[in-house]
Amino acid sequence: MRELSYAEALRECLRQTMAADPSVFMIGEDIGVYGGAFGVSAGLLAEFGEERIIDTPISEAGIAGACIGAALTGMRPVGEIQFMDFVTLSMEQLVLQAAKIRYMFGGKARVPLVLRMPGGSGTGAAAQHSQSLENWFVHVPGLKVVMPSNPYDAKGLLRAAIYDDNPVIFVEHKLLYKTKGHVPEEPYEVPLTKSHVVREGNDLTIVATSIMVQRALHAAEQLAQEDIDVEIIDPRTLKPLDTDPIIASVKKTGRALVVHEAVKIGGFGGEVVSCIAESEAFDYLEAPIRRLAGKDVPIPYNRTLEYHAVPQVEDVVSEAQKLVRGEY
């Protein structure tokens, strides 16, 4: 089977889409000659030129604003924020403008933009370059939020996001860029409306996002040696959230653990817990619904402290054991 890295899958999607559709272009800091902070756009400048691979000054508000204006005039821009942390500088453009325009004009205006951004910790980049802020955008009506966990989904979800007529926040975890997986060569889309059952099981449902899907899979392998059979659900798109597979899974297993890297307070896990508690799955629960998330601290520079600031494989294993053994 043909394998690509996560970064290569994103690049292939961008190359194929731009080659077939002149309305698609990229804009961001250092995406041209430098090839992007994490190399996703490497080589695209030579192929498509400066009019479609646009290097910008250091202005995240400018990047977001340019994307909005281009989208309103019929283009399909793909903006890149060098680190997710700096999307904070474009919040007015995204929250007050991009998210509202289509609704305020009764659907007559479209805002088909994608804003890509690497998030998460694990690279020693410290407190200002390691955050997971996805739930800020989940809270905003009018925005869609996507978090691919593997190369196949990265390529397919990015294409679907580009051809969605709404603004899409596209979050890529830094540690996933070098991970490899099966990626078909032909263009394809993964719907922005379908959660994915990554692994089937009977004893416990784990709902995990982004890199936590991979950690949950490693944990499931260890738990299987103890005869604990884990089912793993990857929402893929945090908004809109497809809850049907989650509810069906919890009804089957009777236990639920939600895992994400962002801090627990105000995090996406709370929304998933509410969806389960408000559904018919609540009557099937045999244990409390648990959340495993980042600690309520800025991400430390020290590698040991950074490691312990967010959930790791051993943390998932420990929480799963407690749930299945009734230790809560």
pTM of this structure: 0.97
- Per the DSSP assignment, residues forming a β-bridge with 311 are none
pLDDT in tens, 299-311: 999 999 999 999 9
Q: Which of 12, 129, 134, 231 is catalytic?
A: 129
Is the domain spanning 196-325 CATH 3.20.20.240? The answer is no
pLDDT at 328: 79
Task: Say if residues 273 and 247 touch (Cβ distance below 8 Å).
Answer: no
3-state secondary structure the chain: CCEEEHHHHHHHHHHHHHHHCCCEEEEECCCCCCCCCCCCCCCHHHHHCCCCEEECCCCHHHHHHHHHHHHHCCCEEEEECCCHHHHHHHHHHHHHHHHHHHHHCCCCCCCCCEEEEEECCCCCCCCCCCCCCHHHHHCCCCCEEECCCCHHHHHHHHHHHHCCCCCEEEEEEHHHCCCEEECCCCCCCCCCCCCEEEECCCCEEEEECCHHHHHHHHHHHHHHCCCCCEEEEECCEEECCCCHHHHHHHHHHCCEEEEEEEECCCCHHHHHHHHHHCCHHHHHCCCCCEEEEECCCCCCCCHHHHHHHCCCHHHHHHHHHHHHHCCC
Residue boundaries of the structural domains of the chain: 3-182, 196-325
Query: Which stretches of the chain drop beneath a pLDDT of 50?
Result: none
Distances (CA, A) of 245 to 94, 194, 199, 231, 318: 30, 9, 12, 11, 24
Question: Which numeric CATH code is attached to 3-182?
Answer: 3.40.50.970
> Does 185 qualify as catalytic in the annotation?
no
Annotated active-site residue in 60, 261, 306, 319 = 60
* Structure confidence at residue 5 (pLDDT): 98
pLDDT of residue 153: 98
pLDDT at 1: 86
Q: Establish whether 129 is a catalytic residue.
A: yes
Residues 52-100 pLDDT 10s = 999 999 999 999 999 999 999 999 999 999 999 999 999 999 999 999 9
What pLDDT does residue 63 have? 98
Count of C-beta atoms within a 10 Å radius of residue 36: 23
- Inter-residue contact 101 to 113 (CB < 8 Å): no
